[in-house]
Structure 1
Amino acid sequence: MVLQLSTFHWEGGAGVAAARLHQALRNSGVDSHLMVSEISGSGPQTTAWADSAWKSKMAWGNFVMERLSFLPYEKDKSVRFAFSPAAIGVDIADHPLVRQASVIHLHWINFGFLSLKSLEKLFALGKPIVWTLHDMWAFTGGCHYNRGCERYLSHCCYCPYLRKPGEYDIAFAQFEKKCNLFQGAPVTFVSPSRWLDNLVQNAALTNGMPSQAIPNCIDTELFKPGNRDEARKAFGLPKDKKLLLFAGANTQDPRKGFTYFQQAMHHPDLADAEVMVLGKGKADDFKDMPVKTHFLGKISDTSQMVQAYNAADMLIVPSLEDNLPNTIMEAMACGTPVVGFDTGGIPEMIDHWKNGFVATAKSAASLSEGIQWILKCDADGSLSADARRKVLENYSEAVVARQYSQLYDSLLHG
Structure 2
Amino acid sequence: MKENIAINVNLSTSGSHLGGAAIASEYHSRSMAKYFDIELWRMWDCDEEFDMGPLKIKSFQSRTRFPHLEKFMPRRVRACLLDSNILNNLLSYRPSIVHLHNPIPSFAFENIAKQAANSGIKVVASTHGFFEVMHPNYSLKRYEKWLWQQTVTHPIRRALGYMDAVFALYPDEIKMLQEQGIPKHKIHLIPNGVNPFFLKPPQQEDYVHVQDKFGVNTTKPILLFIGNHTANKGLDTVMRVANQLSSPATIVVGGRLLSPDEPDQWAKALPPKPAIDVVFTDYLTLEEQRAFYHLATLLLFPSVSDTLPLTIIEAMACELPVVAYDVGGISYQLAHESGVVVPKGLFTEYLQTVETLLNDQDRCLYLSDNAKIRQQSIFSWESAANKTLSVYKSLLI
**Shorter-chain TM band:** 0.7 to 0.9
Structure 2 segments unaligned to the other structure (5+ residues) = none
How far the C-alpha of 1:213 sits from its partner, in A, is 2.4
Q: How many residues align?
A: 371
Within-5 A mapping of 1:91-130: 92-95=87-90, 98-99=93-94, 101-108=95-102, 110-111=104-105, 114=108, 116-130=110-124
Q: Closer, same or farther in 2 for the Cα pair 1:87/1:16, shift >3 Å?
A: closer
Partner residue, 2:135: 146
**1:2 and 2:9 equivalent?**
no
How far apart, in 1, do the equivalents of 2:129 and 2:40 lie? 20
CA contact (8 A) 2:80 2:106 kept: no
CA contact (8 A) 1:343 1:361 kept: yes
Higher strand residue share? 2
Partner residue, 2:22: 15
How far the C-alpha of 1:402 sits from its partner, in A, is 1.6
**1:48 and 2:58 equivalent?**
yes
Partner residue, 1:297: 282
Partner residue, 2:367: 383
CA-to-aligned-CA distance 1:78-134 (integer Å, 9 cap, x gap): xx33885447443534448842x2221100153499353343222212222110121
- Percent identity between matched residues is 19
CA contact (8 A) 2:98 2:122 kept: yes
Structure 1 segments unaligned to the other structure (5+ residues) = 51-55, 75-79, 138-142, 150-158
Partner residue, 2:314: 330
Partner residue, 1:162: 143
How far apart, in 2, do the equivalents of 1:178 and 1:66 lie? 25
How far the C-alpha of 1:334 sits from its partner, in A, is 1.0
Higher helix residue share? 2
How far apart, in 2, do the equivalents of 1:118 and 1:392 lie? 35
Q: TM-score, normalised by structure 1?
A: 0.77
The alignment's C-alpha RMSD in Å is 3.5
How far the C-alpha of 1:393 sits from its partner, in A, is 0.7
Partner residue, 1:369: 352
How far apart, in 2, do the equivalents of 1:373 and 1:231 lie? 30
CA contact (8 A) 1:21 1:401 kept: yes
Q: Closer, same or farther in 2 for the Cα pair 1:66/1:187, shift >3 Å?
A: farther
Q: Structure 1: which amino acid aligns with 2:195? A: D
Within-5 A mapping of 1:163-182: 165=146, 171-172=149-150
Within-5 A mapping of 1:398-413: 398-413=382-397
Out of 252, 256, 275, which is 1:276 matched to? 252
Q: Closer, same or farther in 2 for the Cα pair 1:208/1:64, shift >3 Å?
A: same
Within-5 A mapping of 1:217-366: 217-220=193-196, 222-224=197-199, 226=201, 231-236=206-211, 237-248=216-227, 250-251=228-229, 253-270=230-247, 272-281=248-257, 282=260, 283-287=263-267, 288-290=270-272, 291-299=276-284, 301-351=285-335, 354-366=337-349
How far the C-alpha of 1:368 sits from its partner, in A, is 1.4
Q: Closer, same or farther in 2 for the Cα pair 1:387/1:64, shift >3 Å?
A: farther
How far the C-alpha of 1:286 sits from its partner, in A, is 3.6
CA-to-aligned-CA distance 1:339-377 (integer Å, 9 cap, x gap): 00111111111136x222111210111111222333334
How far the C-alpha of 1:201 sits from its partner, in A, is 1.4
Out of 192, 200, 205, which is 2:177 matched to? 200
Q: Closer, same or farther in 2 for the Cα pair 1:193/1:232, shift >3 Å?
A: same
Partner residue, 1:152: none
Out of 191, 210, 213, which is 1:215 matched to? 191
**1:31 and 2:37 equivalent?**
yes
CA contact (8 A) 2:194 2:380 kept: yes
How far apart, in 2, do the equivalents of 1:146 and 1:194 lie? 17
CA contact (8 A) 1:2 1:104 kept: yes
